[in-house]
Structure 1
Amino acid sequence: MNDSDGALGLNINGDPGPLTLAEMDVVSATWLRAFLPMTDADGGSLVDQPPLRLVLAAAERGRGTVLSLKFPYTHRPVPVPGSEAFAREVQRVDALLPLVMDVVDILVVGNEPFLETREEDRDTGRLNAFYEALARHVIGYRDMRFGPACRTRLYMGALNHLDRPGGRSAATDRWMTFTRDTPALDGVDIHPHLSAPEDDRHYLDYILPRLRPDQTFLVTEFSLVQFWKRHLSDRLAARYADRHGIPRTTLVWEEIKSALDRPFPQRRWDEFLRSNPWFSQHEDYLRQQVETFRGTGRLAVATYAAVQGAANVKDFGADSVPWLLNSLFCPFTVQRADDGELGRNTTWTDAFRALQPG
């Protein structure tokens, strides 16, 4: 397995967009993470799915890799182990495992289970039973085919909203107990998308005492996106508005929409972001957050948003969740450079590069 001791990599979720391995080199990234909806196994060859294709290409070139298995059940009941519906999920997993086991470094059973299931399935233990049975199946496959020498480590993931009322429950307690009591699991994944930087403590204070001393944690998604969202209806900074001939009454989300309609030159996108005090006062967020994770001595890998996704820019408005402000590479809001390189959020790319070893 690649050295994962506190590594910081790129996260593409389920959509790499125009991102290639070349962009990994631009920011000196040695780790890549994606999720794969397991329903994609129904549509033909899994290796043709863009996120998996890029992860496998990264693994082939010696990069560290993390793949999360996503099971979407927001509009239908979570299958009961032993049922026909559960057997179908096992078939999907079995179609994937020969492609990734002993190839990727880390396999995460679940993407965001507490967001990707119906609330009634969380409260009854049905969610837990489903994921526990899947984890045991994956563990059994690994042990039978590869034994203890297998390079692929297994984690459960990921927990969300541990900083909110109701985010911790009997179901999340059971999730952590299963993780701790299963020797084959290396730990748990968390996704702290925060309303304030200090809210990360709610995640760490919850998971660390509930892990075995030999276990570690992943942070395959993290950001201040909920904090950014609170400022979408702020007015633009007067100096920025005057400089670009924009009415001072223009709101932040309207300027972002302008960039989406007609991407800005790199210099203007940089200027726009840094002209907003809610952004400029938190320019050090990425460094501080990663150092906090690393400071626990228990971080395996953290991965940060690589590229703006098409699904997150569609119909952008005042009530949108501004995921696009998290991304290192900005194909939707920034023009490509003359040499063809993707536009970027230079605040994050500079910080990301500085956090790489050496």
Structure 2
Amino acid sequence: MPALGALGANFNENLNWLNQSELKRINTKWVRGFIDMHQINIQQARENANIKCLFNAIDAGYNTILSFKWNYTNLDFPKPGSPQHKTELETLSRLLDIVMNHVDIIVIGNEPFIEAKADQTDSRINMFYESLAEVVISYRKSSPGPKNTRLYMGALNRLDLPAKRTPATERFLQYLASKPELDGVDLHLHIQGLAGHKSMLDYALSRLRPDQKFLATEFSLVWHFRQHMADTVSREFCTKYGFPMEAKVCEVLSAGIHSPMPLEQWVDFLRGEKWYAGVQGFIVQAMEMYRATGRLQVATYGLSPMRYRKKGFEVGDTPWLLNGVFAPPTVWSGEDGERCENWPWAEEFRAVQG
């Protein structure tokens, strides 16, 4: 596995969006996505668009991270030994038949504490994910040939908040630390400021073995951006581009989705918003912080969230489209269809490549 501290591209559930020419433009060799275990047809998994794109990337020499998502937001966790539980374990094993020793890193879980009913985030969530981890550990141990795939669990969210440091979270990390077969934890660092990122890292890493590492397969300032969707857009931008003086940020985003603007106009919009322009350097600073721990294996950053959004943007929507390395659908792609680089994240992304 390559040296610690790599930065790659995150596609979440849309590995089918993977575009190798874009990966070359930003000089990365790592890609990450997840599979929804309740959505995949395990009988036809090899023909799944995300799985096929994942293997295309592997064949092209890219390093890969694959997370397994179990969505229990509207379901009860199955009782150990029940038919439902056995089905979950069988589905997991059949997917491992396809990906084990091909992907570089498997993450057992996507966002388990978010993807569970609120009243199930007690020992039941631990029991369920521990049973999944035991299957993955046993499968890799018994698989023939070299054991190329590393194993992580996660991802944990908002551990900067004391309310999220629950007994179930403590048990999750204790279990991780107790298993020599597990290389570490996956963290999703969507936090308003870098102080919160450090607090979350300090909390999680202090509970792992010193030899264990962490992934940051998602990180962003999206919650900082979300606080400004109802802000009035700068007068300079409105005057230059003919928007009403009372136009809100969310209204400019919605207008861009319905009628994409030239890149120059989009960048003028972003530069005119202090809450956005004022956090330039975020990717550089975050990666410096993560690498300074000496325990970052890989971080991955969203390449182009909401890439194909057609629906207008409302004030309460989460503005993932502002995070992307490549410009969102608010920006005209040009005659050749090549997506423009987003300001300032593409430049920063390249700047921190090893």
TM-score interval for Structure 1 and Structure 2 normalised by the shorter chain? over 0.9
The amino acid that maps onto 1:335 is W
Using the alignment, how far apart are the partners of 1:177 and 1:249 within structure 2?
52
Tell which deviates more after alignment, 313-322 or 261-270.
313-322
Letter in 2 for 1:194: I
Deviations 1:292-338 (A, max 9, x none): 10111000000000112368764520011111111112351111133
* Residue 251 of structure 1, CA deviation: 0.7
Q: Which residue of 2 aligns with 1:143?
A: 141
**Superposed displacement of residue 26, structure 1:** 1.1
Distance (whole Å) between structure 2 residues aligned to residue 86 and residue 217 of structure 1? 28
Aligned length: 354
The corresponding residue for 2:49 is 50
Residues 1:287 and 2:284 aligned together: yes
Identify which of 191, 197, 212 aligns with 2:209: 212
1:1-52 Cα offsets, whole Å, 9 max, x none, are: x305100000000014644111111111110000000123336422333332
Contact kept, 8 Å, 1:221 with 1:305, in 2: the verdict is: yes
- Judge which range, 221-230 or 256-265, deviates more: 256-265
SS at match of 2:121: helix
Q: CA deviation at 1:165?
A: 4.2
Pick the aligned partner of 1:343 from 320, 340, 344.
Answer: 340
> Structure 1 vs Structure 2: percent identity of aligned residues?
39
Find the residue that maps to 1:117 and give its secondary structure: coil
2:349 partner letter: F
Structure 1, unaligned runs of 5 or more = none
* SS in structure 2 of the partner of residue 336 of structure 1: coil
User: Which residue in 1 is equivalent to 2:129?
Assistant: 131
Give how far 1:156 is off: 0.4
Check if 1:260 corresponds to 2:257.
Answer: yes
* 2:58 alignment counterpart: 59
Counterpart Cα distance in 2 of 1:280 and 1:204 = 26
Seen in structure 2, the aligned counterparts of structure 1 residues 44 and 265 have a Cα distance that, compared at 3 Å, is farther
Q: Give the whole-Å Cα distance in 1 for the aligned partners of 2:336 and 2:140.
A: 45
Contact 1:197 1:224 in 2 (8 A): no
Cα-Cα RMSD: 1.6
The CA distance in 2 between the partners of 1:183 and 1:313, in whole Å, is: 46
Contact 1:158 1:189 in 2 (8 A): yes
Match of 1:246 in 2: 243
Q: CA deviation at 1:221?
A: 0.3
Does 1:37 find its partner at 2:32?
Answer: no
Q: Secondary structure at the match of 1:40?
A: coil
Q: TM-score, normalised by structure 1?
A: 0.95
Distance 1:165 1:128, change over 3 A: same
1:155 positional shift: 0.2
Q: Secondary structure at the match of 2:41?
A: helix
Displacement, 1:82? 1.4
Q: Secondary structure at the match of 1:3?
A: coil
In structure 2, relative to structure 1, the CA distance for the partners of 1:18 and 1:225 (3 Å cut) is: same
Contact 1:240 1:275 in 2 (8 A): yes
How far apart in 2 are the matches of 1:26 and 1:116? Answer: 34
Asked if 2 retains the 8 angstrom alpha-carbon contact of 1:312 and 1:323, the reply is: no
> What TM-score does the superposition give when structure 2 sets the normalisation length?
0.96
CA positional deviation for 1:228: 0.1
**What residue in structure 2 maps to residue 122 of structure 1?**
121
Q: Which whole-Å CA distance do the structure 1 matches of 2:310 and 2:79 have between them?
A: 36
**Once the two structures are superposed, what CA deviation does each residue of 1:167-186 show, in whole Å capped at 9, x if it has no partner?**
11000000000000001000
Q: Are 1:19 and 1:307, in contact at CA under 8 Å, matched by a contact in 2?
A: no
Alpha-carbon distance in structure 1 between the residues aligned to 2:341 and 2:81: 48
Structure 2: which 5+ residue stretches go unaligned?
Answer: none
**For residues 77 and 286 of structure 1, what CA distance do their matches in structure 2 show?**
38
Equivalent residue, structure 2, for 1:24: 23
Aligned-partner SS, 1:188: strand
Could you tell me whether the CA contact under 8 Å between 2:284 and 2:348 is conserved in 1? yes
Which letter does structure 2 place at the counterpart of 1:283?
Answer: Q
SS at match of 1:67: strand
Q: After the TM superposition, which of the residue ranges 48-57 and 273-282 deviates more from structure 2?
A: 48-57
